[in-house]
Structure 1
Amino acid sequence: MVRRLYGSAELQERLGVSRARVVQITSRPDFPAPFDRLAGGTVWLVEDVEAWIAVHRPHQARGVNPDEA
């Protein structure tokens, strides 16, 4: 089973926000808990983050924008 992960850089790209904004978003109590904290930074499971996006940023949910397919 392949686990897909998002790090800070992937979150920046996925959400279209700055590094500082990623820190703010990932510090929210409703943001998913990290999958792991590595020497290179914190990582989150893609499916957890995508579920959060579907609830908290539905305009960015996968499948809403045809350009994201």
Structure 2
Amino acid sequence: MARKLYTSGEIADLLGVTRQRALQLVNDRRQDFPQPFDTLPGGVQVWLREDVDAWVAQHRPPLDEDPEGE
């Protein structure tokens, strides 16, 4: 079975942020972002989709949810 992976660019698209901001998130240990699954040739890091999706579900509210509860 092939693993489903995200690159930092795909993480940026998923979160609706720039690639630079996505790189800040994945490299900031305070964000508790999952560790990369692997580093591909050329230094491209990849993350397991299930790990990233779990982090998003825990740390990011759905876009249609009002963060102030109104």
Identity of aligned residues (%): 52
CA distance in 2, matches of 1:6, 1:52: 13
TM score, norm. by length of structure 1 = 0.79
1:50 aligns with 2:53: yes
Size of the aligned set, in residue pairs, is 62
In 2, the alpha carbon distance for the partners of 1:3 and 1:38 equals 14
Shift in Å, 1:28: 2.4
Give the corresponding residue for 1:39.
41
RMSD over equivalenced CA pairs, Å: 1.8
TM-score, normalised with respect to structure 2:
0.78
Q: Which residue type is aligned with residue 51 of structure 2?
A: D
Uncovered stretches (5+) of structure 1, i.e. residues with no partner: 65-69
| Poorly superposed stretches of 4+, deviation over 6 Å | none
| Partner of residue 28, structure 2 | 28
Distance 1:32 1:22 in 2: 13
